[in-house]
Amino acid sequence: MDSDSESKLLSLISQLIHVYNNIDDMDWDWDSKVESLIIQIISFISSMDLDSQLKPESKLMSLTTQVISVLTSMDLDSQPKPLSELISLISQNISINLESEPKSDWDFMALLEETMMLTPRPKLSSLILQILSLVISMDSKWKNLISLSPQVQVRLEGGSFHVLDEVVFRSNNIWECLPKYWEEFRSKEKITTHFFCKGCKGEDHQEYEKAPLEIKHPLHPKHSLQLVKSEWCGTKKCYCCDEFLTKIFYYCSACDYAMNITCVEKPLVLSIDHQKWHEHDLALFPRKASLTCDLCALADSSCPFYICPPCDFVAHQSCLSLPRVIRISRHHHRISFTSSFDQEDRSCGVCRKEINNEYGSYYCTEKGCSYAAHSRCATQSNVWDGKDLENVPEEVEEELEPFVRISSGIIQHFSHQHHHMRLDEDTNREYDDEKQCQACITPIYFGNFYSCMQCDFILHEDCANLSRKIHHPIHPHLVTLVGGYEGVMEYLVDRCSACSSWCKTGFYYECGTKECDFLLHVQCATTSEPLVHGSHIHPLFLTSKPEEQRPCSVCEDSTW
């Protein structure tokens, strides 16, 4: 067989994999495409001239030769019923004009599905799986990946992981070994480096390098680390990078010690020159110990330390990447890092707790502003957008007015641009419970409001004056006021990020940052702090610490 024939076969198999990987609910004829390609592939294989095959043969052709051998010597009567019926059906269809538009054959697809799930797996099915896996591994997108096959499963309970049993979710369906069903693991650069096949637990992908099931690591020399899988890792973080754990990681059950796969594979840096934070080289302190970090003032051992013994300087590995200048949602000016303060009482503007003046934190450099925040508090994902603004010119944010004033008491609101609205200041009016403000969806019982001069659209005066763009304390990005939603609400997407109620029945604030679905009711957005409430003697402040779940002190319900 010549190289052109092998290329054609490779192309047909690749097309089949592509169709199956990209099945769309709206693609009504995907099954016809699958059927047509399978028939084309088998027809092409059956027509091959094995005598003219190139030597030495490629692995693809070796497997193809074995498929031909199995097909030609197969006794259909001795095969499992779904397989024998499928082969017979394919044989009948080989003579069909393959250039014509195929029609869906539900018998074909049903038999194919049954055949792919047979146990024990027939030799023909095993060969087909090997061919599919081989062709997938030739694709540049999947070529250099490492296969993960954890044998142990853990569950997070009470803040610690508990070993359950062996991983038991293997499937016998060959189709479930295609990339469509892979769980991908990416590096910080968003590059896919590892995969976990949900169909076979990684056991059938022999073309790929496999991650070791057990390792020894210099950051945890006492015990071995096992490759484990967990369906949910909660707020548990990797010891090395201080990032949240992925669903598959290396774990020591004796110490409840966990590391992400990417951290395990990175070479250990024993010393670093980090002039940004310290004038001398810093050495890795490999032991897990409670040392107070000079940059964040915390003594936790959540990640490795780097130290300078002569200077008694200590820093978490993760704190070495702290930014110098940032903008956070809790303050209207930029704030800068300082290694220490003069002796003056200060409290953190995020958590409201005392700041230790001897350690690093952030402060506002604006004249007359005394705002300050702990290093870790200021760089939480719920208040900081991840951008270091050192040497970045400060931009003036454009103010968007919510309405254009047409004349005294007459406006054109951005949410109702086709009509003008008039201010109603009549204090002797009769109130109608049926009249609701279109922004906050509450009745207008008292106070001034704007009403449309041509239709029933009305807004509280305060709602009409809501800012078009705001920085809200519980979100790191700028959010924009949106009104007049007319789409179909989605259960998981269209809920307020603060109170979890439906968010698109009135006006709401929406984050425009890519891949951020933060939404906020206007009622939630305008809740001010501090809040004085009769149920508590102290003022209350907004909090939204990432992934934190706390019960309400009034109703005792757990809230996110």
Q: What is the pLDDT of residues 113-142, one digit of tens each?
A: 788 888 888 888 888 888 888 888 888 888
Is residue 168's pLDDT more than 70?
A: no
Is residue 101's pLDDT more than 60?
A: no
Identify the weakest region by mean pLDDT among 191-195, 377-381, 488-492.
488-492
Identify the weakest region by mean pLDDT among 146-155, 411-420, 548-557.
548-557
Within a 13 Å sphere around the CA of 98, how many CA atoms are in the beta-carbon half? 18
Question: What pLDDT is stored for residue 491 in this prediction?
Answer: 47
Question: What pLDDT is stored for residue 26 in this prediction?
Answer: 55
How buried is residue 160: exposed, middle or buried, by Cβ count under 10 Å (0-12/13-18/19+)?
exposed
Q: Give, as one character, the DSSP assignment of residue 499.
A: T
- What is the enclosing helix (H) or strand (E) of 375? helix 375-378
Is residue 307's pLDDT more than 90?
A: yes
* CA–CA separation, 192 and 245 (whole Å): 16
As a whole number, the mean pLDDT across the chain is 84
Closest CA to 506 of 452, 421, 437, 557: 437
Question: What pLDDT is stored for residue 179 in this prediction?
Answer: 86
Bigger pLDDT: 129 vs 310: 310
Question: What pLDDT is stored for residue 22 in this prediction?
Answer: 78
pLDDT tens figures, 249-280: 999 999 889 999 988 988 888 999 888 889 99
Is residue 454's pLDDT more than 60?
A: yes
Average pLDDT rounded to a whole number, residues 281-293: 88
- How sure is the predictor about 509, in pLDDT bands with cuts at 50, 70 and 90? very high
Bigger pLDDT: 2 vs 266: 266
Question: What pLDDT is stored for residue 212 in this prediction?
Answer: 94
| pTM beyond 0.85, yes or no | no
pLDDT tens figures, 172-226: 777 788 888 888 888 776 677 899 988 887 777 888 889 999 999 988 988 999 9
* CA–CA separation, 297 and 357 (whole Å): 9
**Cα–Cα–Cα angle for 542, 547, 552, rounded to 5 degrees:** 50
CATH topology for 403-464 is: Wheat Germ Agglutinin (Isolectin 2); domain 1 (3.30.60)
Question: What pLDDT is stored for residue 99 in this prediction?
Answer: 47
Asked whether 530 and 540 are in contact (CB, 8 A), the reply is yes
Asked whether 101 and 147 are in contact (CB, 8 A), the reply is no
Question: What pLDDT is stored for residue 376 in this prediction?
Answer: 93
Question: What pLDDT is stored for residue 98 in this prediction?
Answer: 46
Average pLDDT rounded to a whole number, residues 417-424: 93
Asked whether 457 and 448 are in contact (CB, 8 A), the reply is no
Average pLDDT rounded to a whole number, residues 367-388: 93
Please give the backbone phi and psi of residue 147, each rounded to the nearest 5 degrees, phi first: -85, 135
Identify the weakest region by mean pLDDT among 6-10, 289-293, 476-480, 554-558.
554-558
Average pLDDT rounded to a whole number, residues 75-92: 81
Closest CA to 421 of 453, 378, 390, 374: 453
Question: What pLDDT is stored for residue 54 in this prediction?
Answer: 54
* Residue for token pair 């669903």: 247
Q: Token pair for residue 442?
A: 């509450």
Rounded to 10 degrees, the C-alpha dihedral 18/19/23/29 comes to 170
Question: What pLDDT is stored for residue 312 in this prediction?
Answer: 92
Question: What pLDDT is stored for residue 90 in this prediction?
Answer: 76
* CA–CA separation, 38 and 45 (whole Å): 11
Average pLDDT rounded to a whole number, residues 34-50: 77
Question: What pLDDT is stored for residue 68 in this prediction?
Answer: 82
Three-class SS of 234-284: CCCECCCCCCECCCEEEEECCCCEEEEHHHHHCCCCCEECCCCCCCCCEEE
Is residue 4's pLDDT more than 60?
A: yes
Give the domain ranges of the chain: 3-138, 149-265, 403-464
Question: What pLDDT is stored for residue 298 in this prediction?
Answer: 92
- How sure is the predictor about 17, in pLDDT bands with cuts at 50, 70 and 90? confident
Average pLDDT rounded to a whole number, residues 376-383: 92
For residue 388, list its beta bridge partners.
Answer: none
Identify the weakest region by mean pLDDT among 289-298, 315-324, 468-477, 484-493.
484-493
Q: Give, as one character, the DSSP assignment of residue 477.
A: S
Average pLDDT rounded to a whole number, residues 82-100: 68
Question: What pLDDT is stored for residue 421 in this prediction?
Answer: 96
- What residues contact 311, with CB distance under 8 A and at least 6 apart? 278, 280
Within a 13 Å sphere around the CA of 229, how many CA atoms are in the beta-carbon half? 20
